[in-house]
A and B are shown apart, each in its own frame.
Chain A
Amino acid sequence: MLAALQFSSIGEFFQMGGYAFNVWTVYVLFLLFFFVNLYFPLIREKQIIRELKRRLIVRNEVPANKHD
């Protein structure tokens, strides 16, 4: 498997045969988009649950207080 490696050194791998800017920009953009696109919906889910729980508590407590 190692024989199929296309680069003989780390430096050569980073240089990408002179196309370092093009190749690495695309891969970095992809990884950035990948993580942002998974991270934000998860953060939003926590926000929504927190917000809805707060409303649930407020609504459950108001009638209870009125009875007192």
Chain B
Amino acid sequence: MWQWFFKLGSPKWFYELSGKWLPWLVAAMSLLLVIGITWALLFVPPDYQQGNTIRIMYIHVPFASISLAFFPLMAVAGTITLVWRMKLADMVAKTAAPLGAWFTALALISGSIWGSDIWGTWWIWDGRLTSMLLQFFLLVGVISLRSALEDTDAAAKACAVLSIVGCINVFVIKYSVDWWNTLHQPSSPIGMAGDSANGPEIWVPLVIMIVAVYLFFAVSLILSTRNEILQRERRSKWVQELLASA
């Protein structure tokens, strides 16, 4: 019963499978991005208060929401590393940290540019903004912790523990808009009818962009994980064979 689980943990199996999946993922990502960006830039009606800055939402919201997935992902990978010592889990955790820092940074920067006009300020120590900045520093912390420890096993364990603890902050980010009602608005309700405040003409392109950016995240993670596999498994027979045929 557990066989599939351990098979999933085999770097060789992941390398081969991801190689087969990559072209499809890239195709789906490109298609959705082209549709999503065209729709967001040309067809979404301007907001009655924010005008055309509403178009920033189609970048900001996907990046901000996916940033929240990094700590849970690293925590799950970290738990697998701690409990089953699966090599692949730690490789994923290692490549996820810098990617997460970039995604969080882009969410912060795009939000800041959006806010500079709509809120009239680039930055404010609001609950959502502060907890998001904390997540950025936590991710930088995970990256430095790994590079500071020379022993790969010790680094894997330490980063796993930090990732699990860092998950607390994800709840703080999620509920910050409800706990401290300062400036960042809570998530908006969406409606199916065309005449509701946030009708399909607003959220359908947003959903397309969120799926597209999720695919982008998956493709980026797979690409860097494959590199990590090649480096760490360079002495194994299958990599040697792969190199000989490459």
Contacts and interface: CB of A to CB of B under 8 A. Distances in A.
Interface size class of A (residues with CB under 8 A): 20 to 34
B67 to A, nearest CB: 13
A29 B52 contact: no
B24 to A, nearest CB: 15
Given A13-B42, A53-B243, A56-B240, A34 B230 contact: no
Nearest to A54: B243
Contacts, number: 90
A29 B144 CA distance: 25
A29 B113 CA distance: 11
A34 to B, nearest CB: 7
A45 B230 contact: yes
Interface residues of B, number: 40
B42 A5 contact: yes
Nearest to B239: A52
Interface of A: 4-7, 13, 16-19, 22-23, 25-27, 29-30, 33-34, 37-38, 41-42, 44-45, 48-49, 52-53, 55-56
B51 interface: yes
B102 to A, nearest CB: 7
Contacts of A23: 52-53, 55-56
B43 A6 contact: yes
A22 B243 contact: no
Contacts of A25: 113
Contacts of A42: 223
Contacts of A19: 51-53, 117
Contact of B44 (A6, A38, A52): A6
B65 to A, nearest CB: 15
Secondary structure of the B side of the interface? Answer: helix
Interface of B: 33, 37, 41-46, 51-53, 55-56, 59-60, 63, 99, 102, 106, 109-110, 113-114, 116-117, 216, 219-220, 223-224, 226-227, 230-231, 234, 239-240, 243-244, 246
B51 A17 contact: yes
A43 B110 CA distance: 27
Contacts of B44: 6
Given A17-B46, A53-B246, 6 more contacts: A19-B117, A23-B53, A23-B55, A45-B227, A53-B243, A55-B234
A19 B29 CA distance: 28
Contacts of A33: 102, 106
Contacts of B46: 6, 17
Contact of A56 (B63, B117, B243): B243
B92 to A, nearest CB: 14
Contact of B41 (A17, A27, A53): A27
A52 B234 contact: yes
Contacts of A4: 43
Nearest to B223: A41
